[in-house]
Amino acid sequence: MALIRLLRTNPSRYQSLDTTQLKARFVRLQSLLSNASPATKSVFAEPAPVQGSDNIDWLAHLGGQPQPLSKMPQADAAAARSKLNAALNDVLRIANERAGASPDDAAFLRSIAAYPSDDDIFVLNGQPVIAAWGHGLAGKQPMGPSPAAAAASDVAGAAVLASGAAHAAGDGTEAAQASGRGWGRRFLLLFLLLLALALLAWWYYRDFNWPPWFDYAAFHEAAGLSEQELIALADVLEEDIEALRQKCTPQPGVAVLKGEESSLRDRVASLQSKVAAQGSLYDQHQIPYSQELRALQSRVPPFNERISAMLRECDAIVEDLERKRAEDLRRKQEEERLRHEEALERERQEKLAREAEEKRKAEQAKKQERKQDEFDKRRTAAGGEEGELTVTLLWNTIDDLDLHVTCPDTAHIYYLSRSGCGGMLDVDQNARYGYNGLPMGRVTREPVENVFWPSARNGKYRIKVDLYKEGTRTRAARPFKIKVQKGEDVQYFEGEVSSGNRDAYFDFSYP
DSSP state of 501: S
Position 52 confidence tier, pLDDT thresholds 50, 70, 90? confident
pLDDT at 311: 82
C-alpha dihedral sign at 59, 60, 66, 69: negative
Lowest mean pLDDT among 134-143, 417-426, 441-450, 451-460: 134-143
Which H/E stretch holds residue 269? helix 253-284
In DSSP terms, 427 is beta-bridged to 450
Which residue did the predictor score with more confidence, 212 or 124? 124
Which H/E stretch holds residue 308? helix 303-369
CA separation, residue 167 to residues 61, 160, 172 (Å)? 39, 10, 9
Average pLDDT score over residue span 5-9: 86
pTM for the predicted model, two decimal places: 0.33
Closest CA to 262 of 318, 308, 309: 308
C-alpha dihedral sign at 129, 132, 136, 138: negative
Asked whether residue 494 carries a pLDDT value surpassing 80, the answer given is yes
Strand extents, DSSP E, 361-445: 389-395, 400-406, 412-413, 419-420, 423-428
Lowest mean pLDDT among 140-149, 180-189, 209-218: 209-218
pLDDT at 1: 54
Share above pLDDT 90 across residues of the chain, in percent, rounded to a whole number = 35
Which residue did the predictor score with more confidence, 393 or 250? 393
pLDDT at 212: 58
Asked whether residue 38 carries a pLDDT value surpassing 50, the answer given is yes
- Burial (CB < 10 A; 0-12, 13-18, 19+), residue 126, is exposed
Average pLDDT score over residue span 433-462: 89
Asked whether residue 213 carries a pLDDT value surpassing 70, the answer given is no
Q: How far apart are CA 422 and CA 459, in angstroms?
A: 13
Q: Structural domains in the chain?
A: 4-145 (no CATH), 216-321 (1.10.132), 374-510 (no CATH)
pLDDT at 2: 64
DSSP state of 362: H
Which residue did the predictor score with more confidence, 150 or 104? 104
- For residues 199-227, b (16+ Cβ closer than 10 Å) or e, as one string? eeeeeeeeeeeeeeeeeeeeeeeebeebb
Lowest mean pLDDT among 167-181, 201-215, 447-461: 167-181
pLDDT at 457: 94
Which residue did the predictor score with more confidence, 2 or 350? 350
Strand extents, DSSP E, 331-447: 389-395, 400-406, 412-413, 419-420, 423-428
Average pLDDT score over residue span 358-373: 73
C-alpha dihedral sign at 36, 38, 40, 41: positive
Asked whether residue 117 carries a pLDDT value surpassing 50, the answer given is yes
pLDDT at 167: 40
pLDDT at 367: 64
Look over the chain and give the mean of its residue pLDDT values, rounded to a whole number: 83
Share above pLDDT 70 across residues of the chain, in percent, rounded to a whole number = 86
Average pLDDT score over residue span 323-329: 89
Position 5 confidence tier, pLDDT thresholds 50, 70, 90? confident
Lowest mean pLDDT among 146-160, 293-307, 378-392: 146-160
pLDDT at 174: 44
CA separation, residue 447 to residues 396, 477, 502 (Å)? 7, 16, 18
Contact present, 314 and 325 (Cβ < 8 Å): no
Residue type, 373: D
Helices (H) then strands (E): counts for the chain: 11, 16
